[in-house]
C-alpha cells in the first residue's frame, strides 16, 4: 500500500475524506519527504519541519504530501511521549489526516466494532499530538476524521473507512489534564528520596514513601503491582477489587467502611449507596438464615 509514494493509500484517503472539488492525487503532485533522523527527538523535529514544509507547499501549489511513519510527541504529565503513526497525509488545502493501518479484516465494508474502537482511541492520541504541531504551523489543521485501512474480505486488497475521533480526542484530553505532573509527584516526596536499584535499602524506603494506588489492571503494566496490591489489601482499600466497584461505592473507600454501612453501623441511610448495601446485606442474611457477612 505504501509503494509508489503511497499512491494506493492516497487514493483511499482521497476517496474517504477528500474534498469533492479535489482531484485524485497525481504522482507528480505528491511529495514524500525523508523523515530519517537520529533519535526520537531528531525524528520528531524532522517530522514537524516536514509538516510545515508540506503545508506551505500545499498552499502554494496544491500538492499532496505522504509522510510514512512520522514521529510526533505528546506532552503527558510534563514528560514527552513519542508516538509513531502509520502515516499522515497533508491535503492540498493544508489539512492533515492520520492514517491507521490494521490487520483485522473489513468484511462487506464493516469491521469488528471493538477493534475499530481501539484503533480510534489510538489514533486520537496521534491527532492530539499533531494538533500541538499545527498550533505552530500557519494554515495547518488536523482533521477529526482518521482513515482506517484494513484488508478487504480476507484478501490482499485494501479497504478503508473514515472514523470520527472527536469523542475519543475529547476523552483523552480530559484524561491528560487530570494526570498528576511528574514535578508535582517529585515535590511531594521526602527530601533525598532516591530510586536507585543499586542501593536496595534506600530503594525499599523510597518505594514505601510513595502511596500505593493499586487497581487489578496494574498487574498487566507495572512491575510494582504486587507490592502495591499487598499495601492496598492491608489498608482494606476497595480499589484493590477494581475501579468500577470503587466508583460505585462513592465515599466508601475501605472494605471495613463498606461492611459497616451494610450492617447499619455507619453511613447515611439516605445515601443511595448505603441503602443499596443494606438492602443487599438484608437479602443475603435472609438467604443464609441470618448469617452476617
Length of the chain as a residue count: 293
pTM: 0.71
Tell whether 47 and 174 lie within a shared domain: yes
Range of the domain at 233: 194-287
Question: Can you tell me the distance from the alpha carbon of 276 to that of 195, in angstroms, rounded to the nearest whole number?
Answer: 44
Q: What is the pLDDT of residue 250?
A: 76
Q: Based on the domain organization, do 33 and 75 belong to the same domain?
A: yes
Number of domains comprising the chain: 2
Within a domain: residue 187? Answer: no
Same structural domain for residues 19 and 140? Answer: yes
> Cell 532516591 belongs to which residue?
194
My answer on whether 198 and 242 are in the same domain is: yes
Does the residue 157 lie in any domain? Answer: yes
Whether 217 and 174 map to the same domain: the answer is no
* pLDDT the model gives residue 91: 94
Q: Is 270 part of any domain?
A: yes
In this structure, the answer to whether residues 219 and 75 fall within a common structural domain is: no
In 3D space, the residue among 85, 83, 91 whose CA is nearest the CA of residue 143 turns out to be 91
Is 184 inside any structural domain?
no
* Any domain includes 137: yes
User: What pLDDT sits at residue 259?
Assistant: 87
The rounded distance, in Å, linking the Cα atoms of 267 and 287 is: 24
Predicted local confidence at residue 161, as pLDDT: 94
Domain membership of residue 14 (yes or no) is yes
Cell numbers placing 175: 484524561
Report yes or no on 50 lying in a domain: yes
pLDDT for the residue numbered 269: 81
pLDDT mean values, one per 10 residues, the chain (293 residues): 74 88 82 94 97 94 93 92 96 95 92 94 97 95 96 90 95 89 80 81 80 83 86 85 79 84 82 85 80 55
pLDDT of residue 4: 65
Amino acid at each position: 500500500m505504501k509503494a509508489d509514494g503511497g499512491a494506493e493509500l492516497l487514493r483511499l484517503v482521497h476517496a474517504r475524506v477528500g474534498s469533492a472539488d479535489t482531484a485524485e492525487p497525481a504522482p507528480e503532485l505528491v511529495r514524500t519527504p525523508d523523515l530519517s533522523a537520529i533519535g526520537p527527538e531528531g525524528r520528531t523535529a524532522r517530522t514537524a519541519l516536514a509538516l510545515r514544509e508540506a503545508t506551505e507547499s500545499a498552499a502554494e501549489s496544491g500538492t499532496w504530501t505522504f509522510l510514512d511513519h512520522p514521529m510526533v510527541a505528546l506532552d503527558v504529565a510534563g514528560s514527552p511521549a513519542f508516538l509513531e503513526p502509520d502515516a499522515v497525509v497533508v491535503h492540498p488545502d493544508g489539512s492533515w489526516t492520520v492514517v491507521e493501518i490494521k490487520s483485522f479484516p473489513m468484511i462487506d465494508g464493516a469491521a469488528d466494532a471493538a477493534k475499530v474502537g481501539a484503533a480510534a482511541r489510538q489514533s486520537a492520541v496521534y491527532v492530539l499530538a499533531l494538533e500541538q504541531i499545527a498550533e505552530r504551523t500557519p494554515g495547518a489543521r488536523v482533521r477529526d476524521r482518521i482513515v482506517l485501512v484494513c484488508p478487504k474480505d480476507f484478501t490482499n486488497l485494501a479497504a478503508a473507512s473514515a472514523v470520527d475521533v472527536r469523542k475519543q480526542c475529547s476523552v483523552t484530553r480530559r484524561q491528560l489534564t487530570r494526570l498528576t505532573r511528574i514535578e508535582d509527584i517529585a515535590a511531594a516526596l521526602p527530601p533525598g528520596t532516591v530510586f536507585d536499584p543499586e542501593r536496595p535499602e534506600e530503594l525499599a524506603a523510597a518505594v514505601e514513601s510513595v502511596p500505593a494506588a493499586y487497581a487489578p489492571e496494574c498487574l498487566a503494566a507495572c512491575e510494582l503491582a504486587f507490592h502495591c496490591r499487598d499495601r492496598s489489601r492491608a489498608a482494606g482499600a476497595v480499589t484493590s477489587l477494581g475501579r468500577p466497584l470503587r466508583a460505585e461505592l462513592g465515599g466508601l473507600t475501605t472494605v471495613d467502611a463498606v461492611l459497616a454501612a451494610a450492617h447499619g453501623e455507619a453511613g447515611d441511610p439516605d445515601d443511595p449507596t448505603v441503602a443499596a448495601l443494606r438492602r443487599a446485606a438484608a437479602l443475603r442474611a435472609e438467604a443464609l438464615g441470618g448469617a452476617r457477612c
